[in-house]
Structure 1
């Protein structure tokens, strides 16, 4: 059991949990927009998410005033190896994307989208404290749009309905909720290391109130969607509702440690894998 726990911790340091959550989200949007599953896109998304998060952690480890988290110490210790791996993954990903997509609308629009994410990340880092909550807002939007990118591009116009776009919005709000919760849980470590987040500019009591209100908004919205939308959309509304409940009851459980809360909220993004049973 200890070995499995240690393995999982190291996998989270390598952002494998985030990759799996993104792949589950891709499954969610492939099915929501009624697009045929493409294994190549799952692989490309996994590579892209790993590259983005690894680059972000490497930059954090390099720019931190003082390293106190195990994740950042890990990235500093193995910086050279991870940089080589990152370069190989990016190079392979670009070549593989070209082989899969060709010089198509999907390929060049994806390059533009990726460049937009990169420039936004750089701009927010240079903005310092002024970035504030914009970091969480932009990350949640780019994360979910990145996951839903190919399904949206490939979907028939008839399948991009106001119901499906509403569920896409709730997924973005859920990702934003997750980042606000993580910001609160990591606020002391971020302060010591000199990182900027929502918790660094919003008072703890106000941040908790915002988290609670946003949770209720998503719960109410996804439950209303489950009741009012046609039967096709109900499994997706139900999944978002379940994921939000996992966030809410984990975060507001005083008996759980910050580490356990983080694991449970991140694990909620694996729930879309249940769609494989449909």
Structure 2
């Protein structure tokens, strides 16, 4: 979707492949380090089903991570120089983040940056890898990038709130616990309102039909997360909120 929004020339074929591999590596290593930290200090965080899965298959997952990282490294040599430079900077920040999270105490204030920082790294990785292959970036693209960034943060903050509902007896440390549920609900409501309003506004400000469809789809993604927020009891069953909450990032495929 991002590629078609800035449709000057096709982006290099290896870009989305490397991006997908690296996102998988970062997420999996983050979880595996969480499990290692739990083994050293069981009181550091609650042991969720996802953590138990990564603990049980740690050896296999480390092997898969190694293969994925090796394949991503090989494909890096096929990427344009602008993407490689961009990736080195963003990748360095991601490595520093994962390393810092692993070393910081369980309730260090810096850990509260997790939700906004991960949202920024995720959004910048997707949009930036396309933009560095372009000579110009339009205001519409920037607006839709900010919408996507808002959705990424909405997703992460919503998950933090739902995890509090899921395990109220287990102590966690996140923006949801520090801000409280009422403030988080207010922020999530405002995020939805601003994202949806921006999507409708862009439909009147641009004549590009694909940009209009993309803006509306981003608004629908935010509304889907809002529905999960409104009906927590239903979406907590069998972790439905995780499947649908992360599934919204497949919705842009509907406009291609």
User: Could you tell me whether the CA contact under 8 Å between 1:68 and 1:189 is conserved in 2?
Assistant: no
User: Could you tell me whether the CA contact under 8 Å between 2:148 and 2:218 is conserved in 1?
Assistant: yes
1:178 aligns with 2:155: yes
Q: What 5-or-longer segments of structure 1 have no aligned partner?
A: 1-27
Match of 2:72 among 90, 93, 109: 93
Label 1:191 to 1:131 Cα distance change in 2 as closer, same or farther (>3 A): farther
Match of 2:5 in 1: 32
Match of 2:234 among 256, 271, 277: 256
1:230 aligns with 2:210: no
User: Could you tell me whether the CA contact under 8 Å between 1:184 and 1:199 is conserved in 2?
Assistant: yes
User: Could you tell me whether the CA contact under 8 Å between 1:190 and 1:196 is conserved in 2?
Assistant: no
Label 1:109 to 1:165 Cα distance change in 2 as closer, same or farther (>3 A): same
TM-superposed deviation, 1:223: 1.7
Give the alignment of 1:91-240 within 5 angstroms: 91-98=70-77, 100-101=78-79, 104-125=81-102, 126=104, 128-157=107-136, 160-187=137-164, 195-232=172-209, 233-240=211-218
TM-score (norm: length of structure 1): 0.80
Stretch deviating more after TM superposition (30-39 or 132-141): 30-39
Question: Which secondary structure does the structure 2 equivalent of 1:86 belong to?
Answer: helix
Question: Which secondary structure does the structure 1 equivalent of 2:231 belong to?
Answer: coil
User: Could you tell me whether the CA contact under 8 Å between 1:132 and 1:200 is conserved in 2?
Assistant: no
Match of 1:44 among 18, 23, 32: 18
Kindly tell me the number of residue pairs found equivalent between the two proteins: 245
1:68 aligns with 2:47: yes
| Post-superposition CA distance 1:179-200 (Å, at most 9, x none) | 0000101126678776532112
TM-score (norm: length of structure 2): 0.87
1:117, 1:81 → 2: CA distance?
23
Label 1:245 to 1:219 Cα distance change in 2 as closer, same or farther (>3 A): same
2:202, 2:28 → 1: CA distance?
36
RMSD between superposed Cα atoms in Å: 2.2
| Post-superposition CA distance 1:102-140 (Å, at most 9, x none) | 6x2321331221011211233345264302541111100
2:183, 2:203 → 1: CA distance?
30
